[in-house]
Amino acid sequence: MGAIFTSPGRTVSAGVVLLIIIVAVVGAVTGQWTKIDHAWATYAMVWLHVISGVLWIGLLWYLNFVQVPTMPSIPAENRSAITKHIAPNVLFYFRYAALATVITGLLVAWMQRYILEALMLQKGFILIGLGMWMALVMAFNVWFIIWPNQQKILGLVPATDEQKAAAAKPALYASRFNTMFSIGMLYFMVMQRFAPI
């Protein structure tokens, strides 16, 4: 067990192996084997989509509910542990999870043949279209507002003290905006399957 649980990569691989074993056991017990067809590929894409979405929004909520509110109570001499080590790592997973969520989400819509109808908010796809547009605005914020400003704040690109101070507000507000949007976005994302409008 130690060989698996001492590495996050091996832990995730073990999760995938465990999933395959469980699916095989369910197939053997029920006699209903998973058919690898288009429907399966679509659901597998939804699965990858939800996994990347959970990573993205989980880190967004970690930043908003844990890291940012806790910073003022950390003694100034210890804050570099966050700004130099934890935050750059968080932002790496954060922005690539956002990208993966967009790509897998668009693929899910494309594989179900309603991508244009959803993006154009046509009847039957209004809810998922709204969810997709909200999430696209959020991903734009991540890559083009939060990340460039955080690079200045964390000293990952050269910036004067004034530029660092000026970057704080747009970075915080875009992150708070995304947290606000995440509530409605997730409602529309999951409602499409239950009650399409």
Residues lying near ligand HEM in the complex (CB under 6 A): 46, 49-50, 53-54, 56-57, 101-102, 105-106, 108-109, 112, 128, 132, 135-136, 139, 186, 189-190, 192-193
CB 110 within 8 A of CB 45: no
CB 94 within 8 A of CB 142: yes
The smaller minimum CB distance to ligand HEM, of residues 131 and 150, is found at 131
The smaller minimum CB distance to ligand HEM, of residues 135 and 154, is found at 135
Q: How far is the CB of 45 from ligand HEM (least distance, A)?
A: 9
Q: How far is the CB of 71 from ligand HEM (least distance, A)?
A: 25
Q: How far is the CB of 40 from ligand HEM (least distance, A)?
A: 13
Question: At 66, which amino acid appears?
Answer: V
Q: Which residue has the tokens 């690898």?
A: 36
CA torsion through residues 51, 52, 53, 56, sign: positive
CB 175 within 8 A of CB 146: yes
**Residues whose CB is less than 8 angstroms from the CB of residue 48 and which lie 6 or more positions away in sequence, other chains included:** 100, 104
Q: How far is the CB of 98 from ligand HEM (least distance, A)?
A: 7
Q: Which residue is nearest to ligand HEM (CB)?
A: 105
The smaller minimum CB distance to ligand HEM, of residues 60 and 153, is found at 60
Say how far apart CA 81 and CA 66 lie, in whole Å.
15
Task: Pick the closest to residue 156 from 171, 176, 139 (CA basis).
Answer: 171
Q: How far is the CB of 135 from ligand HEM (least distance, A)?
A: 3
The smaller minimum CB distance to ligand HEM, of residues 4 and 46, is found at 46
The smaller minimum CB distance to ligand HEM, of residues 17 and 41, is found at 41
